Amino acid sequence: MKPRSLLLTLAATLTVGAASAVPVKLGSVPVTVEPNAKLLTLSAAGIRTAFPSAAGRPDAVFMTEDRKVSVAFEWRDSKLNRTEVGKLVEQFPSVIRAQVPNVKTLKANLLQVSGTPWAQFIFTTPSQGDELRRELLVTSAGGRMLVVTIAGNMKDYAKNEAVVRTLTNSVRVN
């Protein structure tokens, strides 16, 4: 599914209510976040519709109120120890370049969010009208890989950056 089609599908399957400002546990994912009124939550049925293949289907998805930027949480079966997160910053860029066609820019960093180390990968790819921006935040949760994917066009991300950053800065690994 093309990214634009995916965003349109996501927008069509959002739950009616906006996310609340109180801490929320994300289902089976060992994470608590503090979404706000400017984020919409994709229902479980909406996630299944937007991501028909079980492989790579996120466990939770938030959308900005303009439905242009998504923030998806996926707790993968892949093993990852907390001590290995820093190594990803050096190793994973080559994987991204091998798996994502036409990567234009790619930045890799190690961040700390609430005392948890996260590998951050921000990359852009060409698209009609505007570049697509993807950001992967990767850490260890329960010995498994936890991936947060932020996706949207550059201009849409720029308009929604404050809301997205507020959400990602509120992530607490349980």
CA distance 100 to 122: 12
C-beta pairs of 121-128 under 8 Å, 24+ apart in sequence: 121/92, 121/93, 121/96, 123/96, 124/154, 125/100, 125/101, 126/102, 127/3, 127/153
Neighbours of 17 (CB within 10 A): 9
pLDDT string in tens for the chain (174-residue length): 444 344 434 444 444 344 445 788 888 889 999 988 889 999 999 899 888 888 888 999 999 999 999 999 999 999 999 999 999 999 999 999 999 999 999 999 999 988 899 999 999 999 988 999 999 999 999 999 999 999 999 999 999 999 999 999 999 998
The conformation of residue 16, written as its DSSP 8-state character, comes to E
Question: What does the pLDDT read at residue 13?
Answer: 44
Paired residues of 60 in beta bridges? 73
Q: CA quadruple 56, 57, 63, 67: dihedral positive or negative?
A: positive
Structural domains of the chain, with CATH: 24-173 (3.40.1000.10)
CA distance 44 to 26: 11
CA distance 59 to 72: 7
Q: What is the 3-state secondary structure (H, E, C) of 20-48?
A: CCCCEECCCCCEEECCCCCEEEECHHHHH
